[in-house]
Amino acid sequence: MAPSDAELALRLPAYATRVVSLLEAAGYEAWVVGGWVRDALLGSSGHDVDVTTSAPWQETERVLRAARVEVHETGVAHGTVTAVIGHEPVEVTTYRVEGAYSDLRHPDEVRFVTDVREDLARRDFTVNAMAWHPERGLLDPYGGREDLSRGLIRAVGDPSSRFGEDALRTLRAVRFACRLGFSIEPSTQEALVACAPGLDHIARERVGIELDGIMGSGHMAWALRNEFEVVSRALPDLVPMAGFDQRTPYHTHDVLEHTARVCAGVEEYCGGVTPQQLRWAALLHDIGKPSCWSQDDDGRGHFYGHPKVSADMARRILGELALPKDLIAEVCALILFHDRGVWPAARSVRTVLAKLDERCPGRGEPLAFQLIDLKRADALAKAPGCAAYAVELDAVTIALRQEVSRGATFRVSDLAVSGGDVIRECGIAPGPAVGERLRGLLARVVDDELPNDREVLLAALRR
């Protein structure tokens, strides 16, 4: 059952109540809006608090500063300032509406208004268009509370015109459906499909934020199966995966359904706390397959080189979406090695650790465990005959744990010799050649050709 107003009042953090009270004591009106109200009505009150107010932003700033509240001008062009009380931020925005969107992405003008209802009307979905006040209670002109209880994402107003104004809302609808586990109301759904092409005109980094949000929900598999028109418009490189018949005995599904199964698989193995890089790797691990496909004389399909092609495509796609560089490097490393054989043997798992750490320094260990989860999900999403490899991967996990706990050598810094030793023993000057020698030694230690013993390694350097 949804919490009562009294329960919500208890949940609203004191710093947010203070912002609302200060503005109202100065003669303005203020409400809590958006995500906090939505999530609090769903029973979780961890969301940041956004406040909307009749006060012009300069007045908000003046009133709060007079009460010794720290205020930052975080988006004054849109009427937003951020109050910070005891390290907790509260975004405070003046009631506003948006003018026409002639370029389908930026409103031509932002107009400040005096009625909170007008501000709610510009918001995207009914569940996001509620305002709440500790004494006045809920203001819900679009039936957001009812939609929350029925689990529905519904556009505020006419869906086609709302998605026509700002096509990013199509992707936001999918993100909220994924995050909340909601369905999309039928006329909103119809408009989503019709308006998804507008995503072509949206800045890639805004698309990136929403896609990363869908990823973060852990329900990308649902989005691929139910909202492919929207997701593939946001990520056009996914299009050739749909219906791509692999024509190999290793695969029962087309590339898209295989990918959806891998996305679902990594969630299952990580109990819902799947690392974001593993999620992206699951989505993109086979994205290069359609372009690598070839057929042999027996009519059998092959995808030679697809891990490298997929990793290169992922690097380009995620770079365009402006996702963090470290994340991109890790996603690409996982994709590059996803199809490489790994066995339950110390040498094999050490090689994986070394290769991953070389690409992503300091990250070899967590990535190796993620790679096994990716490979397990991949194996189980192929033809039934491939499932046995998933069982073998459990043994690989054990071998990996053993190697890690016995302090395996897989980084140059783990070697019993250092750069100084190389310079002295080999008589070479400091420079890139030193690192090369060390990496050469590391490869032989990883390969069990040499023990990680100082005397043995010094002797090897001298030879």
In the complex, least distance from residue 421 CB atom to ligand ATP, rounded to whole angstroms:
53
**Phi then psi dihedrals of residue 54, to 5 deg:** -75, -15
Q: Out of Mg ion, ligand ATP, none, which partner does residue 53 contact, by CB within 5 to 8 A per kind?
A: none
How far apart CA 23 and CA 425 sit, in angstroms, is 73
Residue 137 binds which one of ligand ATP, Mg ion, none, with CB within 5 to 8 A depending on kind?
none
Site string for Mg ion, 27-56 (x = CB under 5 A): --------x---------------------
In the complex, residue closest to ligand ATP by CB: 35
Q: Shortest Cβ distance from residue 114 to Mg ion (Å)? A: 24
Buried b (16+ CB within 10 A) or exposed e, 152-173: bbbbbbebbebbbbbbbbbbbb
Separation CA 446–CA 411 (nearest Å): 9
| DSSP-based three-state secondary structure for 132 | strand
For residue 93, the surrounding DSSP H or E stretch is strand 88-94
HSE on the CB side for 63, CA within 13 Å?
Answer: 24
Identify which of residues 78 and 424 has a Cβ nearer to Mg ion in the complex: 78
Q: Which is nearer to Mg ion, 52 or 226 (CB)?
A: 52
Q: How far apart are CA 363 and CA 289, in angstroms?
A: 27
Minimum distance from residue 175 beta carbon to ligand ATP (Å): 7
Euclidean distance between CA atoms 279 and 324, whole angstroms: 14
Q: Which does 169 bind (CB under 5 to 8 A by kind): ligand ATP, Mg ion, none?
A: ligand ATP
Smallest separation (angstroms) from Mg ion to the CB of 35: 5
**Residues 6 or more apart from 431 whose CB is under 8 A from it?**
none
Measured from each CB, the residue nearest to Mg ion is: 35
Which one of ligand ATP, Mg ion, none interacts with residue 412, CB within 5 to 8 A by kind? none
> Closest separation between CB of residue 165 and ligand ATP, Å?
8
Among Mg ion, ligand ATP, none, what binds residue 94 when CB lies within 5 to 8 Å by partner kind? none
In the complex with ligand ATP, which residue's Cβ is closer, 123 or 233?
123
Q: Which is nearer to ligand ATP, 20 or 408 (CB)?
A: 20
Which amino acid, 229? Answer: E
Q: Does 213 bind Mg ion (CB under 5 A)?
A: no
Collapsing DSSP states into helix, strand and coil, what is residue 1?
A: coil
Question: Which residues contact ligand ATP (rule: CB under 6 A)?
Answer: 34-35, 47, 123-124, 128-129, 166, 168-169
Angle between helix 57-66 and helix 14-25 axes, rounded to 10 deg? 110
Site size toward Mg ion (CB under 5 A) is: 1
What are the phi and psi torsion angles at 183 (to 5°)?
A: -95, 165
**Structure-token pair, residue 345:** 């043997």
207 binds, among Mg ion, ligand ATP, none (CB under 5 to 8 A by kind): none
How far apart are CB 62 and ligand ATP at their closest, in Å? Answer: 24
Query: Among residues 35 and 419, whose Cβ is nearest to Mg ion?
Result: 35
Nearest to Mg ion of 35, 240 (CB atom) = 35
With respect to Mg ion, which residue has the nearer C-beta, 172 or 382? 172
123 interacts with, out of ligand ATP, Mg ion, none, CB within 5 to 8 A per kind: ligand ATP
128 binds, among ligand ATP, Mg ion, none (CB under 5 to 8 A by kind): ligand ATP
* Nearest-approach distance from CB 151 to ligand ATP, in angstroms: 16
Distance CA 391, CA 202 (A): 44
Output the six-digit token pair for 245.
């018949």
Find the shortest distance in angstroms from Cβ 243 to ligand ATP.
32
Give 152's strand partners. 183
Burial of 444 from C-beta contacts in 10 A (0-12 / 13-18 / 19+): middle
**Min CB(35)–ligand ATP separation in Å:** 3
Q: Determine the Cα–Cα distance for residues 142 and 312; give it in Å rounded to an integer.
A: 46
User: CB–CB of 175/199 below 8 Å?
Assistant: no
Collapsing DSSP to helix, strand or coil, 32 comes out as strand
* Chain residues in the site for Mg ion (CB under 5 A): 35
